[in-house]
Structure 1
């Protein structure tokens, strides 16, 4: 139609902060775009979760604590919802699913909500930004959320960095985790490995078996980086596993390490080889080094 202009992709930056601030009872700033919302009390049975919710794991213990708080004081902050596009007189959660779950657990029949007309992009993006800003997502949930925005809505890493208030390097490093096989993603989702260890394993031709080995042998990120390089250079996983086994101290060596650590008050590592070996004593600062030197030279 004449006079109609193409709209740019929605940017949620400050507008989203204001919106979430309104949900938290803070209100809007004068420097942001006004958003159309209305506050209501809604039946909990008429609300369903955000199908694009990036957060998949909720702590049972934390939910129980929040539910008890809600039983005593009620829901202090309204959740943010939109009319459910597939069910008249029903609503989808945009932000606040944890409060909704806890309110259900507390036995409430209704709860306060802010209703906002929102499209699928906003539904996904607000869900991501709310969780990222409050550090509610584990690394793989964050990566999958960014991936969904990039694949479904054409967002670039630069767009995402601006929207969620993270550096482009953080976005790029997080999105790399999507290259993990599903089993490794589950390890990361449940906290069995760190994001740093997962990224180190991505340096291997097949990161999955290396991650399984890292979990079973309690390897460090540095260990995984070194083994990933061996695998890239043509080494086999069996060879890597053999090196890992060789690096594990025997019972006598482990006992000697513990005794020295106890006497010196520092971490001690002994690497015994066929001919000789290494004794490493780790200190944090010059005070610890000075104390160590006094102990080693006291009798002299």
Structure 2
């Protein structure tokens, strides 16, 4: 094995979780480890890898080698990968038998945090993989949605909207993962009152190439029982109320209506389709029901 010193290669996931030691330091010892002795991280959220991108990386590695070492931990039999799965896979494709690595001590919790957070920050996960990553952080680390959003620098509605995708039927999740459905289309499908209709409507969306707006209209009609909702008297909404309404729609991830009478009184209406969505909205409002 060849030992060498790693060059400073910038900050890693510890920029988010300061207690996780993934930063490559100038005094780190890098070892050329046999690739056959390195096993994948069991908490890796990415299920699929871009073959073309891996081939490109493999060609680069053939020509110039691996510049940034992977990070592993010693196990009973060989090593377990902490960070650098794409580099490891590409090195195998390039025909490499060894790969530069830094050996660190990690417990199970740290392994999971690094695997999830490295991918969230550096990889283009599918919407379902991203949702599963947030779900894992919440369940395995006992974090709240608010804590996850704070640590990742994302809004709570953003996290909540991704988590909602996990309630989709498996076949619909697959369509979303394959890019046949967009995030907007998937979120719209969740507004169907009859959840049994989600899969047929998802297939129709793909087959007919429906836009989000077209899908919204179809689902509104289905939820209304095939009857067009009665038209309300035309009421001119002020730009301020309209802007406020749009912001609330983005925040809650569902339809929101704001109405105000000429006397100044008004009301805000937040739509939900089931108890699960109601609980999500209550969580965003910081309302706890005992």
Match of 1:125 in 2: 113
Larger radius of gyration: 1
1:37–1:116 Cα contact (<8 Å) kept: no
Distance 2:41 2:143 in 1: 20
Q: CA deviation at 1:135?
A: 3.7
State the Cα distance separating 1:16 from its structure 2 match: 5.2
Q: Normalising by structure 2, what TM-score?
A: 0.67
Structure showing the higher helix proportion among its residues: 1
Match of 2:51 in 1: 60
Deviations 1:204-243 (A, max 9, x none): 122222111100000011112222222222349xx9xxxx
Q: Specify whether residues 213 and 17 from structure 1 end up closer, same or farther in structure 2 by C-alpha distance, changes over 3 A only.
A: farther
Q: How does 1:266-285 map to 2 (within 5 A)?
A: none
Task: Give the match for residue 4 of structure 1.
Answer: none
Q: Does 1:169 align with 2:160?
A: no
TM-score (norm 1): 0.65
Any idea what the Cα deviations from partners look like across 1:22-69, whole Å, max 9, x if unmatched?
Answer: 2xxxx49xxxxxxx9753221100001111100111111111111010
**Equivalent in 36, 50, 57 of residue 45 of structure 1:** 36
CA contact (8 A) 2:14 2:22 kept: no
Q: CA separation of 1:76/1:37 partners in 2, compared to 1, >3 Å: closer, same or farther?
A: closer
- 2:43 and 2:93 map into 1 onto residues whose CA distance is 22
What residue in structure 2 maps to residue 71 of structure 1? Answer: 62
Is 2:116–2:133's contact at 8 Å kept on the other side of the alignment?
A: yes
Judge conservation of contact 2:188–2:212 (CA < 8 Å) in 1.
yes
Contact 1:16/1:126 (8 A) holds in 2: no
- Unmatched tracts of structure 1, length 5 or more: 1-10, 29-35, 240-300
Task: Evaluate the alpha carbon distance shift between residue 121 and residue 228 of structure 1 in structure 2; reply closer, same or farther with a 3 A threshold.
Answer: farther
Q: Report how far residue 130 of structure 1 moved.
A: 1.1
Q: CA 1:82–1:228 in structure 2 vs 1: closer, same or farther (change >3 Å)?
A: farther
Residue among 207, 231, 242 paired with 2:222: 231
Contiguous gaps of at least 5 residues in structure 2: 1-12, 229-290
> Would you say the 8 A contact 1:42–1:113 is kept in 2?
yes
